[in-house]
Amino acid sequence: MRRLALAAVLLLGACSAGPAPSEVVPRSAAAPQPANASTVSAAPSSAAGAPSCDATASLRPGPLPQAGQMPAGSTMAKIAQRGRLIAGVDQNSFLMGFRNSFTGEIEGFDVDVARQIAKAVFGDEKKVQFKVVTSAERIPMLQSGAVDVVVRTMTITCDRLEDVDFSQVYYQAGQRVLVRRNSGITGVEGLADRRVCVASGSTSLGNVVNRAKTTVSVPNWTDCLVMLQQGQTDAISTDDTILAGLAAQDPYTEVVGARFTDESYGVGVPKGQEDLVRFVNGVLERMRTDGTWSGIYGRWLTPLGPAPAPPVARYRD
């Protein structure tokens, strides 16, 4: 009888269940992304009514004036009077325009081109103030007169020629794709079902937006590398020059596929300053002939292969 009662008590005890043991649940939060990252669904509104022109034909230079003796009343004379050239450059594109974190100085291929222009005006390549501009800021900064020239991996296009002027081509780049080494992507064809990152306001954006499943845009190219390293994007697609700089910062990435566009870099000059365009073209001509161009290439761009011949100048006079 007593045993029965005990069994009953035990049974009852089993029935009156306590609350389920508590669980520790972490607060779920989205992984951080670069500031101002956004998904792009359509190419910028240029494609439809794109003007056609002979984009890479620039203005023929006259004889280059002596440094320190700019023709009176010219744009260069105004720059000389100020005492320094103001150049819009990048500080985020390794090899082309970047901040040397040991010295704090801005360096790179584009930066050396800007220094050559300063040297032609002043005879001193140090008389240049660098203003960092993002891809999207290049044209507004030229239009507002905040910078004299923009030397920042800027592709010459008919679209842009509506708003600014360009020098002759100083570098011939082409768009390719940067991926993680084990991604299985072998070229731009492999992007159809992938997420691709590009910088906003770049020509690369329009070239890739219809070939990728999703396109994400960020302010700077290094922001794209951050997203690739954080696994938030599968590939980065832009000019091989920029990609080489990104690949040099991460040995687990590689540049794949052939060039699928031609990107002709020119020095951006405010619209209507023909004298400055001709002057810059003269500087570029000199760099090509006296070996400076090859020297600068060798200093920065050897990861892209041995120095090619400098681009051939084309003029519309």
Partner 1 sequence: MVIDSQPRQALVRRFTGLARSTPGRLSLIVVVLVVASLASGWLTTWSVNRQERALEDLATRSEPLAHAAQEVYRALQDADATAASAFLSGGLEPSQLRERYEADIAQAQAALSVATASSPDLTATLAAQLPVYTGLIETARSNNRQGFPVGAAYLREASGLMRTQLLPAAQELYRAETDRVARAQDEANFPVVPVLVALAFVVGLVLIQRYLTRKTNRLLNVGLLVATGAAALSLLWVTTVSVLVMNDVADSRDASEKVDVLAQARIATLTARGEETLTLVARGAGQSYEKNFVEVSGRLEGLLERAKALESTEAVDQALREFRQWQQVHQRIREADDAGQYNDAVALIGNPHFDSLDQSLVRSIGEARQDFSDEVAVARSSLAGTAVGVLVLALISAAGSTMGLWQRLKEYR
**How many chain residues are in contact with partner 1, going by CB under 8 A?**
40
| Closer of 71 and 123 to partner 1 (Cβ) | 123
| Closer of 28 and 182 to partner 1 (Cβ) | 28
- Residue 201 found at the interface with partner 1 (CB under 8 A): no
| Closer of 88 and 268 to partner 1 (Cβ) | 88
Q: Where are the beta strands (DSSP E) in the chain?
A: 38-40, 85-89, 92-93, 97-99, 106-107, 128-132, 149-150, 164-173, 175-180, 195-199, 214-218, 235-239, 253-256, 263-270
Site for partner 1 in 120-149 (CB under 8 A): 129-134, 137
Binding-site string for partner 1 from residue 46 to residue 85, where x marks contact by CB under 8 A and - marks none: --------------------------------------x-
**Cα(7)–Cα(4) distance, integer angstroms:** 5
- Smallest gap, in angstroms, from Cβ of residue 267 to partner 1? 18
Among 99, 180, 211, 286, binds partner 1 (CB under 8 A): 99
**Cα(231)–Cα(180) distance, integer angstroms:** 10
**Taking a C-beta distance cutoff of 8 angstroms, is the pair 263, 239 a contact?**
yes
Residue holding tokens 């007593």?
2
Among 225, 235, 296, 313, binds partner 1 (CB under 8 A): 225
Residue holding tokens 């000389």?
80
Determine the interface stretch with partner 1 among 1-9, 15-23, 242-250, 260-268 (rule: CB under 8 A): 242-250
- Residue 180 found at the interface with partner 1 (CB under 8 A): no
- Residue 239 found at the interface with partner 1 (CB under 8 A): no
Question: DSSP readout, 88-112?
Answer: EE-SEETTTEEE-TTT--EESHHHH
Among 3, 16, 22, 27, binds partner 1 (CB under 8 A): 27
- Smallest gap, in angstroms, from Cβ of residue 141 to partner 1? 9
- Residue 276 found at the interface with partner 1 (CB under 8 A): no
- Residue 94 found at the interface with partner 1 (CB under 8 A): yes
User: Rounded to an integer, what is the distance from CA 281 to the centroid of its chain?
Assistant: 23
Q: Which two tokens stand for residue 186?
A: 């072998």
Radius of gyration for the chain, computed over Cα atoms and rounded to the nearest angstrom: 27
**Cα(275)–Cα(254) distance, integer angstroms:** 42
The single-letter code of the amino acid at 295 is G
**Cα(75)–Cα(84) distance, integer angstroms:** 13
Q: Which residues bind partner 1 (CB under 8 A)?
A: 26-27, 29, 31-35, 84, 86, 88, 91-94, 98-106, 129-134, 137, 220, 222-223, 225-226, 229, 246, 249-250
